[in-house]
Amino acid sequence: MCGIRIRLGLLGADDSLPIIQAVVEEYKELVCFPVVYWDERDILDLMRPLAAQVDMWLFSGQVPYSIAKQSGEAGVPLFYVPHTGASLYRTLLQAHYTKQIPVCKLSFDTYEHGEVERLLEEAGIHEPVLYIKHYEGGISAQELARYHYDLWKQGKTKAAVTCLRTAHLEMEKIGMPVYRVLPARSAVEAIVQTIIRTGEMLRVQDAQIAVQMIEVDSMTATSPETFSSDEIYKMELKTTEKLLQYTKKVQGSLKSVGPGRYVIFTTRGALKEMTAGYKTIPTSREMTHLYEEVVACGIGIGRTAYEAEIQAGRAFLHAKHYGRGAWMVAFDDGTIAGPLGKEEQIHYSIGNEELRQLAEHTNLSTVTLGKLQAILRRRGTNEMEAHELASDLQILPRSARRILKELEAAGLAEAIGETSPYPRGRPRKVYRIFL
């Protein structure tokens, strides 16, 4: 993060965003960038233009938060304002006391059943809660609206209570009685305090040591006619000089660890800034001259210098797998991201306990399973065929087929059909994967 203040992206519905923004603007530690959304499908497109300008995101509810989190695109801390009991009090006052609608004739969403019952007990309302649509993560406005509408149409309810603005608008459109739960000021203040504490922690993290491991090939910069040992030695010196200039740019120190391999010790914050939050290859003048010579680069983030160096080596090996010139990052939470600078990047886990357990039941590594999990999340579907998997993993189709067969044998995938991309070609099996 740059400066003392936290640049906070605010993304929410038109009616909840002003409430959140009013609280955020009272804190001098925060500078906010408000964005209104009207359709969940637009959330990622609305976030992308601000990707380089914000240090964190705060969402008005768990649905937009879940969409952003599952995409893996943000690369910065994400938060949302939970709909607490205080949020529901005002809505119940309007529906139950003002409009005299029995609680048993109301349908709710988002909240857990026990949470609503406790709130009613505190409010002195002794009526059963019959209809609640609780969900984890994201959900479409249409699905929520359909749940409430079906109950209302069947005469089981007289009105709906929803936490999702887009579902609220859907129900209003069809003329159904609906009440909207807005965020409570106390809930916003609580999450803002968490954001500020997170900002303080990240500033400490930015000062931690990070390690960059690079392999270069000086021969790339030589002409085909220049093969004398003296000329090659001169090229290696020039390459080292370029690396020293880049090292100075990131305020680090350079160490040679073998022929053509170097390690740069710098800070987490410097590398984060140089790579735009671990998304791109550094664009500094010193690094530009080295692009053609870089064979692979791994960036390691760890809690100690030793751990960061181990992580850098791990990222370096993954970069070599992706091909010449690839840059990868290994984080201290057991995840790997990259290749940096590429349009199609994946962020996958290699230290996940669940993946380790799955790996024990197959002949696949946690790395392969982590990559597959990230690919499915990015594609937004759990159905694919071998050629698609091969393209995403940058492996041969026969290797992709072997992976799918391993998953099928372990009960983690099933063949659900075939597709024929070419009129005369062999049909390709389509698999549904359960990760």
Sorted by where each starts, the structural domains of the chain and their CATH numbers stand as: 6-80+188-204 (3.40.50.1860), 85-180 (3.40.50.10660), 207-343 (3.30.70.270), 353-433 (1.10.10.10)
Question: Which pLDDT does position 222 carry in this prediction?
Answer: 53
Mean pLDDT for 100-116 is: 89
186-195, 343-352, 374-383, 386-395, range with greatest mean pLDDT: 186-195
Judged by average pLDDT, the poorest of 8-22, 86-100, 413-427 is 413-427
Which ranges of 1-132 would DSSP assign to H, the alpha helix?
17-24, 43-47, 62-71, 85-92, 113-122
Quick one: CA dihedral 194, 200, 203, 204, positive or negative? negative
Gap between the Cα atoms of 410 and 150, Å rounded: 39
**pLDDT above 70 coverage of the chain, percent:** 93
Average pLDDT, the chain: 85
Closest CA to 394 of 333, 328, 297, 298: 328
pLDDT in tens, 244-277: 888 888 888 988 887 888 999 998 888 888 888 8
Question: Which pLDDT does position 157 carry in this prediction?
Answer: 94
pTM for the whole structure = 0.61
Instruction: Report the SS3 class of residue 225.
Output: coil
Judged by average pLDDT, the poorest of 11-15, 167-171, 297-301, 353-357 is 353-357
Question: Which pLDDT does position 313 carry in this prediction?
Answer: 92
Mean pLDDT for 286-307 is: 81
Please give the helix or strand (H or E) that residue 296 lies within, else none: strand 294-301
Question: Which pLDDT does position 121 carry in this prediction?
Answer: 83
Using an 8 Å Cβ cutoff, are 261 and 319 in contact?
no
pLDDT in tens, 59-85: 999 999 998 888 877 878 999 998 877
Question: Which pLDDT does position 298 carry in this prediction?
Answer: 94
Location of structure tokens 């959140």 = 20
pLDDT score of 337 more than 90: no
Gap between the Cα atoms of 88 and 90, Å rounded: 6
Between 52 and 230, residue with greater pLDDT: 52
pLDDT in tens, 6-51: 999 999 999 999 999 999 999 999 999 999 999 998 999 999 999 8
Band of residue 1 on the pLDDT scale cut at 50, 70, 90: very low
Judged by average pLDDT, the poorest of 50-59, 127-136, 139-148, 354-363 is 354-363
Band of residue 128 on the pLDDT scale cut at 50, 70, 90: confident
Using an 8 Å Cβ cutoff, are 183 and 88 in contact?
no
